C-alpha cells in the first residue's frame, strides 16, 4: 500500500480523497493555485505545494508542475479527482512513465473512452446499444448545420473531450446549430484544450441514468447499481439519486451487464461510470463513459455501504476487488443536492465572493465513513469566511441524505436544506427546495427536460408556494417579539420611558414594487427564559418554542410540538428594519410593527428604484471577453451585445429591445462586478 499520495485537484473532491487516505493511514499532498492558498484542502493535507497562478490552465492543468510536486514530496501515487486532468490520457501516461501510480484507469482505457467519437465505435463493437449520429469531428459551423439537417432536429452538439456539461448544446433549428457549434468549440478549447465537436440525435423525454463500475487489474469488473441524474439545468446535474425510481430490475441488469462488457473491452481498472440515455419505454442508449470518480459517487456509497475512494486506491495498489457481483447491496434510498454559488432568482448567474457565513446542517454521516448511514452528509471544500473564486466551477458543497425509502430521503433533504446557512453569496438552496417539493419530482415523474419545462420563465420566489404561509408570518412575529424582549430587558432605561411591549402587531409582507400585504397578529404567553410564545394569525394558532439567539441565522425549535428548522435575517433588501424568514424554499420579507406604526407606514410614499433600462448591466462578477457592439451602432432585440466568462462558462448578453449604442463603458479583458454597466443605449 502507498505511504503517500498527491491529490491533483482542489475543493470538495480533494478534501474527500484526503479523508479516505487519512483513514487508511496514507499521508497526503495537496496542490494549490494562488487563489487557493487558504483553501480547506490545503489545511487538511499533510503537505501542500503551490503550482501557479489562479487560472486553472496555469495551475491545475499543468501536468509538469504536478509531476514535479510528486517528485519533490516523494508521493508514490496521484489521485486526479474529477475535472481538470482526471480524464487526460496523456497525463495518466506521463505519470506512469515517471514511475508514479495513477489512481484511476490505465491511459489506454482513458484514451479509448475519453474520446466521445471513438468510444461510440468501441461501444457498438462490444454489443452496447448506441444512439444515431455522426461520430466524426466537424470542421465548420456550416457543415454542422448540414449534418444536423440530415439527422433531423433536435440534435445534440458535443465536444469530443467534453464533460460536466461544458461544450454541449441542444439545437432545435439551423440558427441554434450554427451558434451552438461555435460556442461548443470555444468552451471545449478553453476547458479541455481540444476543440473537436460532433453531433448526435437528441432523444426527447429522455432520462439520464448511469451505471457505476469498479474494475481491478486482475480482470474483475462489477457494477454497483445505477444513479438517476435526470434533474439537470443546461446539462448540469442538479439532483442525483440512487436507485432510480424509473427503471425495472430487468433494465437495471441489462444496463449493468452492457456497462461491464464495455469496461472489459477496454481492460478497465478503477472506478468508472457508463452513462445511458433512457427512453420512456426503458430503451437505453450509450452516451459516454466517464473514466473517473463522479461528483455524485456518495449516493452509491450510501446504498451499497462501500467507500469508492478506498476501493480506487486499493485497486491502484494492485489488490483484487473484495466483493463479487452477488455481494453488491442496495439498501435504502440516497439523494444528493449540488449546492452551487449561483443566484436562482437572477437566471442562475454565478455568484462569487466571501462566504460571510457557512453553516451546514448537522451531519450524522461522513465521507470515508461507511459505518454511519441513514442520515445527512456534507462534502465540501470551503469553510466559514472562505472565498468562492471566479476561476473554478460554482459548487460550494454536496448535501447527501440516506433514507429508508425515497419519501423518507426527500423529507430528510428538505429538512437539511432548511438548516443550511450560506451568507455573503447567493446559492441555489431555494431552487433545490422547490424541486424537492414539486409533485412530479415527489412522484418520480420527470425526465431531463423537467427544469426547462417547469421553470421555462426562470425561477421566482412565487414558484415555491408554502404549505402553510401563515407559519412564515407567525415566525416573523416571533422573531420580532424576541428582539423586543431583549430591548425591554436592557438596563439603564429611564423610569416611565422603558420599552413597553404589547401583544398586538401587524406583519407587513414587503412585495415587489411596493405591493405590500398586512397580517394582524397577536403574540401571547411570551416567556423569555424558555423562548416560547403563542402566535395567533388569521384562524391559526402557533405555539413556537426555540432557544434561538439573536443574530443567529438558523432558528431551530418546535411549532405546535413538531420540530422545525428555518432561517432568519434582519436588515435585508432596501429596508434595514425588515426581517427575512425562509422555510421550505419560501421566503418572506416583512416589517413587524405595532398597529399604530402600521397605519403610519401605509401613508409613506413608495420610492421606486432608478430606471436602468438604457444600460446593459453585468449580471454577475466575471471577465469581459467580448464586446460585440460599437458606439452609434443600431442593435435589434435578441442581438449579441457582450460575452462574460465566469466559473468556466461563457455567458452571452443579448439586447432586450431595439436601440442605438450610445457609449461602451467597459473594455475587453476587464473584470466586472455585479450590475456594472457595460453598454449604454441612447
Q: For residues 73, 74, 75 and 76, what is the CA-based torsion angle, rounded to 10 degrees?
A: 170
- In which region does residue 385 sit, left (phi positive, over 0), alpha (psi from -120 to 50) or beta (all else)? left
The Cβ of residue 240 has, within 10 Å, a number of other Cβ atoms equal to 27
CA dist 218 and 269 (Å) reads: 9
Q: Is 129 left (phi over 0), alpha (psi -120 to 50) or beta?
A: beta
Q: Which three cell numbers stand for residue 472?
A: 412564515
Q: Are the C-beta atoms of 251 and 177 separated by less than 8 Å?
A: no
User: What is the SS3 assignment for 383?
Assistant: coil
Tracing cell 425510481 back to the chain, one arrives at: 245
**Could you give the C-alpha distances from 204 to 173, 208, 450, 557, in angstroms and in order?**
15, 11, 12, 45
**Grid cell for residue 425:** 453569496
Q: CA 553 → CA 339, 466, 579, distances in Å?
A: 18, 20, 11
Angle at alpha carbon of residue 246, lines to 243 and 248, rounded to 5°: 85
Within 8 A by CB and 6+ apart from 353, the residues are 387, 388, 424, 425, 621
CA pair distance 396, 341, nearest whole angstrom: 6
For residues 276 and 268, give the distance between their C-alpha atoms in angstroms, rounded to a whole number: 18
E strand or H helix that includes residue 485: helix 469-489
Residue 388 per-residue DSSP state: E
DSSP assignment, residue 132?
-
DSSP 193: S
* Angstrom distance (rounded) from CA 672 to CA 631: 20
Q: b vs e for 365-399, b when ≥16 Cβ sit within 10 Å of the residue's Cβ?
A: bebbebeebbbbbbbbbbeeebbbbbbbbbbbbbb
Distance between CA atoms of 56 and 569, rounded to whole angstroms?
36
Task: Give catalytic residue positions.
Answer: 288
Cis previous bond, 303, omega within 30: no
What is d(CA 430, CA 465) in angstroms, rounded to the nearest whole number? 12
- As beta bridge partners, residue 236 has 233
* CA 415 – CA 132 distance, rounded (Å): 43
Cell for 285?
A: 442508449
- Tell which residue, 513, 562, 556, has the closest CA to residue 542: 562
DSSP secondary structure code for residue 630 in this structure: -
Amino acid at each position: 500500500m502507498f505511504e503517500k499520495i498527491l491529490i491533483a485537484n482542489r475543493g470538495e473532491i480533494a478534501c474527500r480523497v484526503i479523508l479516505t487516505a487519512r483513514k487508511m493511514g496514507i499521508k497526503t499532498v495537496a496542490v494549490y493555485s494562488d487563489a487557493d492558498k487558504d483553501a480547506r484542502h490545503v489545511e487538511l493535507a499533510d503537505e501542500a505545494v503551490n503550482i501557479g497562478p489562479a487560472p486553472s490552465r496555469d495551475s491545475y492543468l499543468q501536468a509538469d508542475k504536478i509531476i514535479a510536486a510528486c517528485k519533490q514530496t516523494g508521493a508514490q501515487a496521484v489521485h486526479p479527482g474529477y475535472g481538470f486532468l482526471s480524464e487526460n490520457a496523456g497525463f495518466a501516461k506521463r505519470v506512469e512513465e515517471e514511475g508514479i501510480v495513477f489512481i484511476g484507469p490505465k491511459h489506454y482505457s482513458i484514451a479509448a473512452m475519453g474520446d466521445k467519437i471513438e468510444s461510440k465505435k468501441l461501444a457498438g463493437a462490444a454489443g452496447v446499444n448506441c444512439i444515431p449520429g455522426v461520430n466524426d469531428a466537424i470542421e465548420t459551423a456550416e457543415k454542422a448545420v448540414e449534418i444536423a439537417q440530415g439527422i433531423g432536429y433536435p440534435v445534440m452538439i458535443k465536444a469530443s473531450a467534453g464533460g460536466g456539461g461544458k461544450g454541449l448544446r441542444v439545437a432545435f433549428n439551423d440558427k441554434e446549430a450554427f451558434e451552438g457549434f461555435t460556442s461548443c468549440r470555444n468552451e471545449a478549447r478553453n476547458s479541455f484544450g481540444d476543440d473537436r465537436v460532433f453531433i448526435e440525435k437528441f432523444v426527447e423525454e429522455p432520462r439520464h441514468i448511469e451505471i457505476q463500475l469498479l474494475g481491478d487489474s486482475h480482470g474483475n469488473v462489477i457494477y454497483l447499481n445505477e444513479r438517476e441524474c435526470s434533474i439537470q439545468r443546461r446539462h448540469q446535474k442538479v439532483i442525483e439519486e440512487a436507485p432510480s425510481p424509473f427503471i425495472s430490475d430487468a433494465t437495471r441488469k441489462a444496463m449493468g451487464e452492457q456497462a461491464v462488457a464495455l469496461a472489459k473491452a477496454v481492460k478497465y481498472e478503477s472506478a468508472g461510470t457508463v452513462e445511458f440515455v433512457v427512453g420512456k419505454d426503458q430503451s437505453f442508449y450509450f452516451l459516454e463513459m466517464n473514466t473517473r470518480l463522479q461528483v455524485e459517487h456518495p449516493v452509491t456509497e450510501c446504498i451499497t455501504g462501500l467507500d469508492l475512494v478506498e476501493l480506487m486506491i486499493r485497486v491502484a495498489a494492485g489488490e483484487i476487488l473484495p466483493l463479487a457481483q452477488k455481494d453488491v447491496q442496495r439498501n435504502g434510498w440516497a439523494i444528493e443536492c449540488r449546492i452551487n454559488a449561483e443566484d436562482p432568482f437572477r437566471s442562475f448567474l454565478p455568484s462569487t465572493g466571501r462566504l460571510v457565513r457557512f453553516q451546514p446542517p448537522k451531519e450524522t454521516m461522513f465521507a470515508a465513513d461507511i459505518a454511519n448511514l441513514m442520515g445527512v452528509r456534507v462534502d465540501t471544500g470551503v469553510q466559514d469566511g472562505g472565498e468562492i473564486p471566479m476561476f473554478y466551477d460554482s459548487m460550494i458543497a454536496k448535501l447527501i441524505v440516506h433514507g429508508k425509502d425515497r419519501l423518507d430521503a426527500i423529507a430528510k433533504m428538505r429538512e437539511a436544506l432548511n438548516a443550511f446557512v450560506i451568507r455573503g453569496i447567493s446559492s441555489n438552496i431555494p431552487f433545490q427546495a422547490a424541486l424537492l417539493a414539486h409533485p412530479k419530482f415527489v412522484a418520480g415523474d420527470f425526465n431531463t427536460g423537467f427544469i426547462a419545462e417547469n421553470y421555462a420563465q426562470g425561477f421566482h420566489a412565487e414558484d415555491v408556494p408554502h404549505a402553510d404561509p401563515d407559519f412564515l408570518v407567525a415566525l416573523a412575529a416571533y422573531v420580532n417579539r424576541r428582539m423586543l424582549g431583549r430591548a425591554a430587558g436592557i438596563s439603564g432605561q429611564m423610569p416611565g420611558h422603558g420599552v413597553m411591549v404589547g401583544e398586538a402587531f401587524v406583519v407587513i409582507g414587503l412585495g415587489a414594487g411596493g405591493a405590500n400585504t398586512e397580517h394582524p397578529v397577536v403574540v401571547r404567553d411570551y416567556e423569555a427564559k424558555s423562548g416560547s410564545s403563542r402566535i395567533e394569525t388569521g384562524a391559526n394558532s402557533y405555539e413556537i418554542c426555540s432557544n434561538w439567539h439573536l443574530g443567529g441565522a438558523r432558528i431551530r425549535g418546535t411549532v405546535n410540538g413538531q420540530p422545525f428548522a428555518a432561517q432568519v435575517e434582519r436588515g435585508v433588501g432596501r429596508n434595514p428594519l425588515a426581517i427575512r424568514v425562509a422555510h421550505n424554499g419560501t421566503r418572506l420579507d416583512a416589517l413587524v410593527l405595532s398597529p399604530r406604526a402600521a397605519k403610519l407606514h401605509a401613508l409613506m410614499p413608495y420610492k421606486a428604484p432608478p430606471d436602468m433600462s438604457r444600460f446593459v448591466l453585468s449580471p454577475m462578477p466575471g471577465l469581459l471577453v467580448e464586446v460585440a457592439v460599437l458606439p452609434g451602432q443600431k442593435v435589434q432585440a435578441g442581438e449579441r451585445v457582450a460575452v462574460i466568462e465566469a466559473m468556466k462558462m461563457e455567458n452571452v448578453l443579448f439586447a432586450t429591445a431595439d436601440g442605438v449604442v450610445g457609449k461602451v463603458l467597459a473594455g475587453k479583458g476587464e473584470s466586472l462586478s455585479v450590475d456594472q454597466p457595460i453598454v449604454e443605449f441612447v
